[in-house]
């Protein structure tokens, strides 16, 4: 279980103001909200990538901000993080990038053949052909392939939790649908808890067991997808309508 | 309803410079604190054997081996110019063999280490800041953390150690090449023979000078990567941010090299 306790964070202006909620084990949880409402910041707090002004996050009982270095390291090995633009290491090829997803201690004692097998399996799981991409640099891959390598790096360490930061941003509708299918398949096959921050409301509502909406630094809604669609809250309604209009516009442009 | 401002122009005039002093002081303290933290984390990475020897060797190649051509060109030009200007000033007034001493002292004490450092600020320091800055804005540094890796051990420590090892070697090369270029230039333009040049060079030579030169090199070899890494890791704001930070980093490194250079004579040449 992941618990966010009274999260406060401000940069130049307040971003998160007292956000609290929890995500149950095995759940697929979506986080929506207008741009700049702190969705990605919230996701980053799950593994301590951003310092908080106040509050704490606990992941399966370990505290991110009060548990010390050892606790944070344990959490990070338990969590796979898929970055918005994949964040692959430019100077490393696909094999080296995915291999970095294996915990350091594990990597030290593993045989080279076993490492290769784990990297190979992870790439196959994300529908890439390992022999075609293993020695390629990130700059030689398409946007969709980079995203898949980023996912392979996140899952190669067999995490119990997957955090997805805008997994479909920058992808065309075909790739978006493919990545969404991949997210659902991986979450079921790997039996992980997932938190997905996304601007793709329709996709998020189809994938997630529960969703939350952030607005103005506060949690505006938390509940099941159907309740979100039918929410009487005018702010939620306006957001859902705007998202539907944007999705329709995207379809027309395609 | 807010009333009219009671702030007098005199107060505003006083407040502005005070606010500027406050901002600058805060920035200096912030940089100093972050630099100290970076050095402490680097030391811890070495102490806990987290630094890969392979990465250090790669960085020695990038910082040291790949810089040899530009360092040699700079040293040759510095040696020729020193020899020419010295010859111009001494002709008819001082025995020309003194030129050997002037060229050696100028190159070894000052031009070798400082010009090499300035060249490295542009070739190595700017590259490190831009590279780490790009990694920062594209979330690659966050990815290191997310994967349970320490970016200081993986990115900073190898570059700092490589700088401390490679820069003294580059300065030694610059010293030798600069003196040789000055000697050849003196022979070709002033007719000063090699033996006379070397006689003059030996007359005022102190072994301490070589230590002084290499001590400067070690300090510059430490300062350039530390500052460039620090600035790279502070980068914010996409491609424009990388450009801004790299420019600021080059200025920061150049000034630091010149200030450190100015501190050496009172500390080590008394």
Residue of A nearest to B140 (CA): A87
3-state secondary structure B43-100: HHHHHCCCCCHHHHHHHHHHHCHHHHHHHHHHHHHHHHHHHHHHHHHHCCCCCCCHHH
- Give the model's pLDDT for residue B5: 53
Work out the average pLDDT over B30-52: 94
Contact (Cβ atoms closer than 8 angstroms) between residue A155 and residue A190: yes
Banded model confidence at residue A129, pLDDT cuts 50, 70, 90: very high
Top residue of A11, A100, A103 to mutate, by most chain B CBs within 10 Å, is A100
| Chain A residues inside the 8 Å CB shell of B143 | 81, 83, 87-89
Residue of B nearest to A70 (CA): B148
CA dihedral B31, B34, B35, B37 (to 10 degrees): 160
Render pLDDT for B176-234 as a digit per residue (tens, 0 to 9): 999 999 999 999 998 999 999 999 999 888 999 999 999 999 999 999 999 999 999 99
CA–CA distances in Å: residue B244 to residues A91, A98, B42, B136: 23, 32, 25, 14
Counting residues of chain B whose pLDDT is more than 90, the rounded percentage is 82
Work out the average pLDDT over B52-58: 95
A212, β-bridge pairs: A31, A222
Task: Flag whether pLDDT at A221 surpasses 80.
Answer: yes
- Give the model's pLDDT for residue B6: 54
d(CA A161, CA A19): 20
Contacts of B119 (CB under 8 A, 6+ apart): B67, B70, B71, B74
Residue of B nearest to A74 (CA): B148
- Who has greater pLDDT, A129 or A244? A129
- Who has greater pLDDT, B214 or A169? B214
For residues B111-137, one letter each, b for 16 or more C-beta atoms within 10 angstroms of the residue's C-beta and e for the rest, the string is bbbbbbbbbbbebbbbbbbbbbbbbbb
Quick one: DSSP state of residue A139? G
Render pLDDT for A49-108 as a digit per residue (tens, 0 to 9): 999 999 999 999 999 999 999 999 999 999 999 999 899 999 999 999 999 999 988 888
Work out the average pLDDT over B77-82: 96
d(CA A208, CA A229): 13
Q: What ipTM describes this predicted complex?
A: 0.90
Task: Flag whether pLDDT at A16 surpasses 90.
Answer: yes
Counting residues of chain A whose pLDDT is more than 70, the rounded percentage is 97
| Chain B residues inside the 8 Å CB shell of A87 | 138-140, 142-143
Work out the average pLDDT over B89-97: 82
d(CA A67, CA A75): 10
Q: Is A64 helix (H, G, I), strand (E, B) or coil?
A: coil
Q: Is A8 helix (H, G, I), strand (E, B) or coil?
A: strand
Chain A: give the shortest CA distance to residue B135, in Å. Answer: 8
| Chain A residues inside the 8 Å CB shell of B58 | none
Task: Flag whether pLDDT at B8 surpasses 80.
Answer: no
Q: What is the mean pLDDT of chain A?
A: 91
Render pLDDT for B236-257 as a digit per residue (tens, 0 to 9): 988 999 999 999 999 999 999 9
Q: Is B102 helix (H, G, I), strand (E, B) or coil?
A: helix
- Give the model's pLDDT for residue B15: 86
Top residue of A11, A49, A103 to mutate, by most chain B CBs within 10 Å, is A49
CA B80 to chain centre: 23
CA dihedral A223, A225, A229, A232 (to 10 degrees): -10
- Give the model's pLDDT for residue A250: 64
- Give the model's pLDDT for residue B4: 52
| Chain A residues inside the 8 Å CB shell of B49 | none
Quick one: DSSP state of residue A138? G
Q: What pTM, to 2 d.p., does this model score?
A: 0.87
Banded model confidence at residue A176, pLDDT cuts 50, 70, 90: confident
Cβ distance of A87 and B142 shorter than 8 Å: yes
For A207, the token pair is 């994938």
Work out the average pLDDT over B91-115: 91
Among residues A91, A104, A75, A102, which one has the least CA distance to residue B48?
A104
Render pLDDT for B223-234 as a digit per residue (tens, 0 to 9): 999 999 999 999
- Give the model's pLDDT for residue B1: 44
Report phi then psi at A55, rounded to 5.
100, -175
Question: Up-side HSE of residue A23: CA atoms within 13 Å toward CB?
Answer: 28
CB-defined contacts A:B, below 8 A: 43
Cα Rg of chain B, angstroms = 23
For B8, the token pair is 């007098």
Cβ distance of B148 and A73 shorter than 8 Å: yes
For A154, the token pair is 């996140």
């Amino acid at each position: 279980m992941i618990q966010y306790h009274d999260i406060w964070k401000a940069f130049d202006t307040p971003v998160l103001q007292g956000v609290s909620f929890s995500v149950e084990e095995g759940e697929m949880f979506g986080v929506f909200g207008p741009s700049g409402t702190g969705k990605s910041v919230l996701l980053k707090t799950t593994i301590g990538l951003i310092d908080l002004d106040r509050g704490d996050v606990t992941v399966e009982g370990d505290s991110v901000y009060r548990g010390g270095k050892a606790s944070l390291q344990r959490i990070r090995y338990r969590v796979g993080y898929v970055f918005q633009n994949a964040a692959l290491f430019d100077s490393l090829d696909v094999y080296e990038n995915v291999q970095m997803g294996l915990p350091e201690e594990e990597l030290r004692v593993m045989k080279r053949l076993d490492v290769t097998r784990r990297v190979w399996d992870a790439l196959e799981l994300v529908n890439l052909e390992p022999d075609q991409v293993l020695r390629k640099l990130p700059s030689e891959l398409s946007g969709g392939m980079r995203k898949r390598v980023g996912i392979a790096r996140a899952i190669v360490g067999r995490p119990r939790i997957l955090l997805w930061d805008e997994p479909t941003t920058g992808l065309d509708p075909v790739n978006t649908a493919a990545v969404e299918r991949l997210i659902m398949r991986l979450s079921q096959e790997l039996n992980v808890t997932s938190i997905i921050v996304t601007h793709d409301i329709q996709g998020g509502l189809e994938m997630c067991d529960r969703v939350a909406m952030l607005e103005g630094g506060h949690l505006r809604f938390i509940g099941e997808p159907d309740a979100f669609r039918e929410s009487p809250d005018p702010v939620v309604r306006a957001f859902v309508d705007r998202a539907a209009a944007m999705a329709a516009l995207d379809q027309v442009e395609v | 309803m807010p009333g009219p401002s009671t702030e007098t122009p005199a107060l505003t005039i006083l407040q502005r410079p005070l606010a500027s002093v406050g901002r600058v002081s805060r920035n200096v303290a912030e940089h100093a604190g972050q630099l100290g933290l970076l050095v402490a984390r680097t030391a811890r990475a070495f102490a806990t054997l987290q630094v890969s020897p392979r990465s250090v060797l790669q960085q020695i190649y990038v910082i040291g081996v790949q810089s040899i051509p530009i360092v040699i060109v700079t040293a040759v030009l510095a040696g020729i110019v020193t020899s020419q200007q010295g010859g111009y000033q001494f002709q008819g007034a001082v025995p020309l063999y003194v030129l050997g001493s002037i060229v050696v002292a100028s190159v070894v004490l000052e031009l070798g280490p400082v010009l090499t450092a300035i060249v490295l600020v542009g070739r190595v320091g700017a590259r490190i800041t831009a590279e780490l800055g790009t990694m920062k804005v594209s979330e690659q540094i966050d990815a290191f953390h997310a994967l349970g890796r320490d970016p200081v051990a993986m990115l900073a420590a190898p570059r700092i150690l490589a700088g401390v090892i490679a820069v003294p070697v580059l300065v030694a090369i610059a010293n030798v090449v600069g003196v040789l270029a000055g000697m050849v230039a003196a022979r070709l333009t002033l007719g000063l023979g090699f033996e006379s040049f070397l006689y003059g060079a030996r007359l005022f030579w102190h072994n301490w000078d070589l230590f002084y030169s290499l001590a400067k090199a070690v300090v510059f070899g430490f300062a350039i990567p530390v500052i460039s890494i620090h600035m790279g890791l502070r980068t914010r704001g996409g491609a424009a941010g990388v450009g801004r930070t790299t420019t600021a980093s080059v200025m920061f490194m150049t000034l630091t090299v010149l200030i450190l250079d100015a501190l050496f004579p009172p500390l080590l040449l008394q």
